[in-house]
Amino acid sequence: MLSLREKTAFYFEDIQTNLGLALNLTILSLILVSLGIFVALTYPLSPQLSACLRSIDLTILVIFTVEYFLRFWSAASRRKFFFSIFSIIDLLAILPLLLLSGAIDFSFLRIFRWFRILRIIRFWRLETKLFGIKTEDGVIFIRIFLTLFSLIFVYAGLIYQVEHNVNDRGLNNFFDAFYFVVVTMTTVGYGDVT
């Protein structure tokens, strides 16, 4: 019989059972909702809606923090878990919550929230279940698409965080940063905006 710690570790990695699949899909959904909220907050919103979205985002960040500590607690080798790439990505995503302090301004750490999208890498083995892909070529295509989308999204987030405060005329919102990254990566040029 498995201990509670072993069961916890099993369900975080499992996608074959209903509970494991539901848990992993819930985490994936929260990642996407969190990213959607951050994108929405780059646009002008009413103070009430903005406060509501920030509350939802904080709740999701608390859930990610609990998930991180549950994964750490249930890991077979905590040292190996702590230094794994997924653990580092998770830690960077929750770092702003862990370092909340009134004495020091940690707002610059908001840039790490964009690493949440890299957590989707954890779910690459879900593509056969989610998309019903049967061929190896289909799996490869989905992985390439998710990798490119993740890179573009992370770079757009980094560009927005770094440039928005000094170049708010050129980068008004997330879509402007996303456009900048896509045009830069594809090297088609900026003729339409100059």
pLDDT in single tens digits along all 194 residues of the chain: 778 888 888 888 877 788 888 888 898 888 888 888 888 988 999 999 999 998 998 898 889 889 999 999 999 899 999 998 878 878 877 877 777 655 555 555 666 666 666 666 666 666 565 666 667 777 777 778 877 887 888 888 888 888 887 876 778 888 988 888 888 888 776 666 55
Closest CA to 133 of 125, 145, 121, 144: 125
pLDDT score recorded for residue 2: 79
The model's pTM is 0.78
Handedness of CA 49, 55, 58, 60 (dihedral sign): negative
Neighbours of 24 (CB within 10 A): 20
Helix, strand, or coil (residue 17):
coil
Check: CB of residue 28 under 8 Å from CB of residue 130: no
pLDDT score recorded for residue 89: 79
